Amino acid sequence: MTLKIDTELSAVNSILGVIGQAPVTTINALNPETAMIKQILDECILEVLNEGWHFNVELHYELTPNANDEILISEDMLRVDIHNDHIYRSEDIVRRNGKLYDKVDHTYTFTDSIDADITWFFPFYPDPDSQITVTDYIPPVFRRYIIHKASTRAATQMVSNPTLVQIQQQQEALSRAACMEYECNQSDATFFGTPHNNSYRSYQPYHALLVR
């Protein structure tokens, strides 16, 4: 038996099951309850992705001005900032009207490329029957966390049952812990703060025991 991965439809049905409602075969926006669940799911997706995780944060991403000397920002860029390694900055950029704006020179005009850190939006895995073709998805462990987070919110907003909310909060905490484990494994984080695209091997005591 092959386990199916979480899709938008299965996520909606999981949340419906938590609040004691029957599953649906399609996400119908005309159904108020289903539309509410879908809205809660979308809100939780944005909240989780906006935190900035290793899988959706890209460092040293070059943003190049267009023919009008403006740097356009696409909708899938949740956050844009100059890379942190740049101590002496001649620009202070913010996002305005779908473009980068320099608060130092008070202009949308950029003559040079910007070395930026980008937090990207990734979609939830679409249903197999949908016509959506996307290559990047939210990793499975984060999808489970989003489902539990949305289930907690749905239980809070749509069901007057404090016990159910407490149970879902415990599930949400466990799934977030799994995300943190995934994050640590993927990012290979170190408290030494080694720069991006560099490697560092810490002291390994067992080397002292090697007999040559």
Q: Is the pLDDT of residue 6 over 90?
A: no
86 closest CA partner among 106, 66, 64, 114? 114
- Kindly state the DSSP code that residue 55 receives in the 8-state scheme: T
pLDDT band, residue 189 (cuts 50/70/90): confident
**What are the domain boundaries of the chain?**
8-52+126-187, 57-120
pLDDT band, residue 85 (cuts 50/70/90): low
Strands 57-63 and 99-102: unpaired
